Amino acid sequence: MNEAMRRPLFIIAGSILLLAGAFIAHKAIGSLDREVKLSHYANVPAARQSGIIERGWVPELLPAGSKDITEIHNLDTNTGTGTFRFPSADLDTFKAQARQLAGAEVKEVSAITYVVYARDRSRFELVLTPDPQKADVMVGVWGMKPIR
């Protein structure tokens, strides 16, 4: 792997580790901040029904087969992050859907897919990677922050 490919891969891997570390730390010690909210949904329909996607805490752009969706957001800073899983077979359809979204950017480095888009004054960044434990599953993480 040459230097031009190695640098973006390290940046994406570092982003995944940072988001996952923050999420795990919150789960492990809990939140003393009443403005930080945590929720879990079995799948996309359950998340939609709860209104969490409409409120902007969970990306509207998720693979259709996404499940095990966990999100954490801060009402004071208007930021959030989360994780989800989906069948590897849904990846190509998701990338095509993302490319059709106005202003969305889709990048691929090795087996990692990076998607960035903005909606309603928020910027979403999603990182999708194969699950190291299951060959037919992908793992996704996202970060959301306000556009100022």
pLDDT in tens, 126-135: 999 999 999 8
- 11 pLDDT more than 90: no
What pLDDT score does 116 carry?
96
Give the domain range for residue 125: 3-146
CA atoms within 13 A on the CB side of 111: 11
User: Whole-prediction pTM value?
Assistant: 0.77
d(CA 21, CA 33): 18
Confidence bin at 29 (pLDDT 50/70/90): very low
Residue where the block lists tokens 């499940």: 67
* Domain count within the chain: 1
- 110 pLDDT more than 50: yes
d(CA 74, CA 40): 15
d(CA 71, CA 100): 25
What six digits make up the tokens of 74? 């801060």
pLDDT in tens, 30-72: 555 678 999 999 999 999 999 999 999 999 999 999 999 999 9
Question: What residues are paired with 123 via a beta bridge?
Answer: 118, 145
Average predicted confidence (pLDDT) for the chain: 86
What pLDDT score does 4 carry?
65
- 25 pLDDT more than 60: no
**Proportion of the chain in helix, strand, coil states, percent, rounded to 5:** 30, 40, 30
Asked if residues 138 and 91 have their Cβ atoms less than 8 Å apart, the reply is yes
